[in-house]
Amino acid sequence: MTESPLVRVALRVFSGGVLVFLYLPLVVLAVYAFNPSRTLAWPPTGFTLNWFTQAAANPRIIEAFWNSILAGVGATAVALILGTLAALAVQRFEFFGKETISFIVILPIALPGVVTGVALSTTFQTVGIDFGLATIIIGHATFCVVIAYNNVIARLRRLPRSPEEASADLGADSFTTFRRITLPGMRTALLSGALLAFALSFDEVIVTNFTAGPGTETIPLWILGAIQRPNELPVVNVVALVLILLSVLPVYLAQRISEEAGGIAR
C-alpha cells in the first residue's frame, strides 16, 4: 500500500511527538540529578556532582542493589527451568489440559500485581513462611515463568526435528541429544528470556512490596520509600539517572541476541 506524501509527513510528525513524550520525563530527571537544590522546583539552580558521591556512599542503596540482583538471578533461574519444562511438555506431547497451560502461566502477569501480591503474602503468613529474599524470589519467579515459556515454545516450534532424529539414529541417548542438539538450538531463546525475566524482576515493586517483609529492601522498594522522604530526593534523582542509563544495557544485549537468533533461524 502506498501512503500519500501528506499521510507520510503526518505519521512522521506524530511519531516524533510520541518520542518526545516518551523521553521528556527521563530528560527532566537527568537534569535534576545535577541540581544543587534539594527541592524539585523548575528551573534547576545550578550544577553539582555532590549527590552522586552521597548515593555511592549510602550503604542502604548498595544493599538494596545487591538484593535486587540476587532476587533477579534467583527468579530468572527458577523461571527458566519451569518455563522450559512446560514448553517442552506442551510442544512434544499430547495430553489433557494442554491448552490450559498457556492460560495458567499467563495469569500471574495478566492479573493485577496487587492480587498476586496479596495472595502470596496471605499464603506465606498462613503457612508460616518467613518473609525475605526467598519469598521475593518465589513471587518474581511466578510471573517470570510466562516469559521463559513464551520464548522457548516459540523457538521449539521453529526448530526442525531432523537434527534430533539424526542424533538418535547415530546412537545418542535422549539426554545427550537434548544437551548437544536441542539445548544449543534454544540458546538464544533462553538468553533473551533470561534477560527479560531479570529486567522484569529487577524493576518489580508491586508484588515485591507484599513479599519482601520488613527486613529486605530492593532498589525499587528503596526508591518507593525515599520518594516520600523529602531529604533524600536529590539522591533519588541520582539513583534514577543511573537506572535509566543502566537500561541501555538490556536493550543493547537484546538487540545482539536477536541478531544472533536471526542468523540461526533463517
Residues 35-64 that bind another protein (CB under 8 A): 39-43
Cβ closest to another protein, residue 188 vs residue 238 = 238
Question: Would you call 127 helix, strand, or coil by DSSP?
Answer: helix
Q: How far is the CB of 193 from another protein (least distance, A)?
A: 13
- Per CB under 8 A, 218 contacts another protein: no
Nearest Cα residue to 108 out of 116, 120, 118: 116
Q: Quick one: DSSP state of residue 179?
A: I
Q: Please report, in angstroms and rounded to a whole number, the separation of the first and last CA atoms in the chain.
A: 26
Q: SS3 string of 204-245? A: CCHHHHHHCCCCCCCHHHHHHHHHCCHHHHHHHHHHHHHHHH
How far apart (Å, rounded) are the C-alpha atoms in residues 107 and 173?
36
Residues 234-263 that bind another protein (CB under 8 A): 236, 240, 243-244, 247-248, 250-251, 254-255
Q: Which of 55, 64, 86, 181 lies at the binding interface for another protein (CB under 8 A)?
A: 86
Q: Which range touches another protein (CB under 8 A), out of 22-30, 50-58, 69-77, 180-188?
A: 22-30
Residues 167-206 that bind another protein (CB under 8 A): 171, 173-176, 199, 203-206
Contact predicate 124/197, CB 8 Å: no
Q: Which range touches another protein (CB under 8 A), out of 46-54, 55-63, 77-85, 180-188?
A: 77-85
Q: Which of 55, 71, 120, 156 lies at the binding interface for another protein (CB under 8 A)?
A: 120
